[in-house]
Structure 1
Amino acid sequence: MTQIALITGASRGLGAALAQALAPTHHIVAVARTTGALEELDDHIQAAGGSATLAPMDITDTAAMQTLCRGIYDRWGRLDMWLHTAIHAAPLSPASFVDAKDWDKSVAVNATATSTLIGYVAPLLGSEGRAVFFDDDRAGEKFFGAYGATKAAQMALARSWAAETVKTGPRVRILSPRPMPTAVRARFFPGEPRAPLNAPASEASRLLAEL
């Protein structure tokens, strides 16, 4: 029976690397807003003999997420794994100057959409599926107010869900990626030398091994 993995935020960085790493053993349901990047990911997956379903959607669109999860249920009846890498990286700024639009988008993507997706995905994972979240502990660091606060909210949701499902499933894990040369990190640390950072492909392999 084909294993099904949903990856939210699959078009670039760690999400794309996880999709390619899982493709030999899973059918990938790849969700991201950028159609072109998803198509490029699909080319890599197919070239390696895997298969994917592309879902160019915004995770803050509740109706789209309902449609996605209903489509997964109608086609396969379940999910075996959900890996949530989607994130909004608000520009760095002092807490007293956080832009209202950046704050609202950070809350919508990093916290509200995560909460909504947990409710939609949990029935698909059942008792045996696995949900995986990725920590980035910036809460309280200077200039990381919007990102740090909303990423911390996301992790709090994940930790609560993990504690609530220890006996019933699904199995919820929170993993800690090492620094990678991703677009998110480049936004936070422009001009940082990229060579010492960890390649997303190697990090994807390391993180999946932890599971």
Structure 2
Amino acid sequence: MTQTALITGASRGLGAALALELASTHHIIAVAKTTGALEELDDQITALGGAATLAPMDITTEAAMATLCRGIFERWGNLDLWVHAAVHAPPLAPANMIDAKDMSKSVATNVTATGTLITYIAPLLGQSGTALFLDDFRAGQPFFGSYGATKAAQIALARSWQSETAKTGPKVHIAKPDPMPTATRARFFPGEDRAPLADPTSQAKRILAELGRDA
């Protein structure tokens, strides 16, 4: 039986790379705000012989996430894997000059939505499913106040959930990707030499190997 993988933030970067690596063994439920990018991902998954369900929606819209999870339950009954790759990357700014709207959006996307999704997705994963979060080391670095603080809060939520479910499941895995030439990083480091950066596909393979999956 084909397993199911929900990927929030699936349209580009590591989220898309993980979707493609999982496509041979999982039905991919791909969530992102950009419909065109999701359709491109769907074409790639189809070319690999896989199948996907596209969900163009904003994870900060609670009603949309509730509808999505209800639809997953009604169609499949459960979820085998959740990959949370969605993140908001605000402009870099000194801590005393962070724009209030940027901070608000960072909190909404990186923290509040993550907490909401955990409550909705945990019952779908049950005791045997797996949740995958992607860590970042930007917390405390100069000019990364908004992103670093909210990303660290997201991972703190994941670590609490990981500790709470260690004996009961679901399994919660927190991976640490190497720097990659993603759109998020390009916003932080415009003009950077991208040649030395890690390939998202190789990072996806490594992370899935850590999960004990044949990627």
TM-score above 0.5: yes
Alignment-mate amino acid for residue 55 of structure 1: A
Instruction: Tell me if 1:2 matches 2:2.
Output: yes
Could you tell me how far apart the structure 2 residues matched to 1:106 and 1:167 are? 32
| In structure 2, distance between residues paired with 1:2 and 1:66 | 24
Aligned length: 211
**1:174 aligned counterpart, secondary structure:** strand
| Cross-structure match for 1:42 | 42
- Letter in structure 2 aligned against 1:40: E
Give the equivalent residue in structure 1 for 2:53.
53
Return 5+ residue gaps in structure 1 as ranges: none
Which residue of 2 is the match for residue 176 of structure 1? 176
Q: Which amino acid aligns with 2:157?
A: L
For structure 2, the residue ranges without an aligned partner over 5 or more in a row are none
User: Post-superposition, which runs of at least 4 consecutive aligned residues in structure 1 deviate over 4 A?
Assistant: none
- Cross-structure match for 2:112: 112
Q: Which residue of 2 aligns with 1:206?
A: 206
- Matching of residue 18 in structure 1 with residue 13 in structure 2: no
Q: CA–CA distance in 2 between the matches of 1:154 and 1:138?
A: 13
Q: CA deviation at 1:25?
A: 0.3
Alignment of 1:83-94 (within 5 A): 83-94=83-94
Q: CA deviation at 1:137?
A: 1.4
**Secondary structure at 2:27 match in 1:** strand
Q: Read off the aligned partner of 1:190 and give its amino acid letter.
A: P
Letter of the aligned partner of 1:60 in structure 2? T
Distance in 1 of aligned mates of 2:2 and 2:43: 20
After superposition, give the CA deviation of every residue in 1:99-123 in whole Å (9 maximum; x if it has no partner).
0000000000000000000000000
C-alpha RMSD over aligned residues = 0.4
The answer to whether residue 73 in structure 2 is matched with residue 77 in structure 1 is no
TM-score by length of 1: 0.99
> Equivalent residue for 2:68?
68
Equivalent-residue separation in structure 1 for 2:19 and 2:140 (angstroms): 31
Percentage identity across paired residues of the two chains:
73
